[in-house]
Amino acid sequence: MKRRVTRFIAGAMTAFLLAGCGSTGSSNTQNDTAAVTEKENSSTDTVSDSTEAVTIKMTYLTSGTEPEGLDRIEAALNELTMEKINCKVELVPLAFADQATKYNMWFANGNDTDILITVFQDYLAMINSGAFMELDDLIQSYGKDMLEKDKEKNFLSAGQYKGHQYGIPTIPSAPGNGGAIYIRKDVFDALDSAGIDVDGYIDYEDLDNIFGQIAEKFPEYTPLGVSGNRTKSNYFYVKNYDNLGVSGESSGVLVDPMNSTKVENLYATDSYYEYLTWMRKWYQDGYISKDAATSSESSDTLFNSGKTASYINMSTPGTRESAERDAGIGVVQLNMCPTYMTTNVYTGVLFFVSKNAKYPEKAVEFLNILFTDAQIQNVLTHGVEGEDYTVQDNGVVIDLKEDRDYINVYGVWGDQSQYYMEAPLVPEDTKKREAYLQESLAHTSKAFGYKFDATPVSTEQSTVKSVISKYLTQLEYGTVDLDTVYPEFLKALESAGIDKIIAENQKQLDQWLAEQK
């Protein structure tokens, strides 16, 4: 179970996290960097200085329990950092759920942890409160390798605010946002797939056809696995849009981000209503479980346990292979929309230097190697070679040891394209990641680099989020009558102040766009 969570969250970071694609240049692909030898590293490593070594502190996110073996990993990390930058790193465990509470406490009491990681947090509020240092000058002096990487990967802009660099965003192994449906291969192979573009993008009619056949031929499965409470829309997997740096749709979105910078209420659009009508139909036809809205099992858990024939997830390369490994069966991936490049690709996970940092210069020097040195990234992500994993002869893919004690739940360290790939992935998968990145770049939002600051409308946004939480699950799982509940939903959003939020978002976006000229 721990390994499944590790793989899922590491992929989602991206998605949503946080999720996975290779670099645009061969010199930075996993095939080259993950297996770099000590000799190769020595030509690019930051040279240790002769000053007395210091110890910087960096938060290490946990699921609530400190992982076993963390002291061992810290020791291995410090062997590398002492050699490369004459510095030690103390990993400070912090539960994911405690980020906001702990950080605000630290800001107030002067805690001198140097590097703070934020995962899906309102970091703009922290910046506005003066919690983080501006990094512009520090990066110029101590982050030159990051600046070089930025010329290729264009990631640093996602950590900028009001013209200044504050955060360093984690680079997903496959930058982009796209959606797909994953279907049991034994089930899909038994269907009549004539007319379904398995190599392109499927539409609602294709899905309706697939679900209908599954219901008829495989009554033991629920055709589509959806479950749990929704606070942001699953429509994201069907049609890409730009959330403008916000998690969910509470602040408005760009519905057509490649061609328009108009901020709109996604929930009031005709295309979203069409999506709801299909979900309602599928619920009434029995393609969605009757207890979907109240189930505590995730959609991938339902799939892995053999209760459902399909589920929806990101289209990131490697997701299908992970699904096959977790479920123990063959899985077919059918993409539903192209992958897009938006600010959200990079703003899920960021590294900041605290205003209370004791060693800010050394902190940035460490971030410089964290984002550019495969050895540093792989120690934090996978552990120690020989103890936690073995490297295959190809030098790119690793086999995790079953008896390892170190499991890194949140795969957030630096440039994920430099991580070793976990079996059953193969070296050739780097080409898929390369293609995914190129597709994302070809669909870059006009607002890439912009993030909405909801501070001026924080009260309205809180109320809007409550409305969304109340209505979204039942609407998107098709459990309620649209003619009655959908108008109620739109009216409740309007009363909560969504139009005021959208107007503020539009004002900030227009100002940001003007500054880019």
Q: Which domains occur in the chain, in start order?
A: 2-173+345-429 (3.40.190.10)
pLDDT confidence of residue 516? 86
The residues facing 349 across adjacent strands are: 119
What's the CA gap between 421 and 391, in Å, rounded? 10
* 229-234 contact pairs (CB < 8 A, 24+): 229/293, 229/469, 229/473, 230/472, 230/473, 230/476, 230/477, 231/465, 231/468, 231/469, 231/472, 232/468, 232/472, 233/266, 233/267, 233/272, 233/472, 233/476, 234/312, 234/476
- Answer yes or no: pTM beyond 0.85: no
The count of other CB atoms within 10 Å of the CB of residue 105 is 11
Q: What average pLDDT does the segment 41-68 reach?
A: 73
Which of 283-287, 436-440, 476-480, 484-488 is the least confident region? 436-440
C-alpha pair distances (Å), 130 with each of 107, 141, 156: 9, 22, 20
Dihedral of the CA atoms 10, 377, 21, 403 (nearest 10)?
A: -50
Cα separation of 362 and 458, whole Å? 36
pLDDT reported for residue 23: 31
Has residue 315 got a pLDDT over 60? yes
Task: Please give the pLDDT value at position 39.
Answer: 32
CA distance 222 to 364: 50
- DSSP element (H, E) containing 391: strand 389-391
Q: How many CB atoms are closer than 10 A to CB 481?
A: 9
Q: Pairing state of beta strands 167-169 and 349-353?
A: antiparallel
Report for 24-38, 64-78, 353-367: range of highest mean pLDDT? 353-367
Q: What percent of the chain has pLDDT over 70?
A: 90
Q: Which two tokens stand for residue 504?
A: 């503020």
Window from 86-95, 437-446, 491-500 with minimum mean pLDDT: 437-446
DSSP lists the bridge partners of residue 222 as: 308
Tell me the angle at which helices 458-476 and 482-496 cross, rounded to the nearest 10 degrees: 170
pLDDT over 70 at 97, yes or no: yes
Q: Which helix (H) or strand (E) segment is 323 a member of?
A: helix 319-327
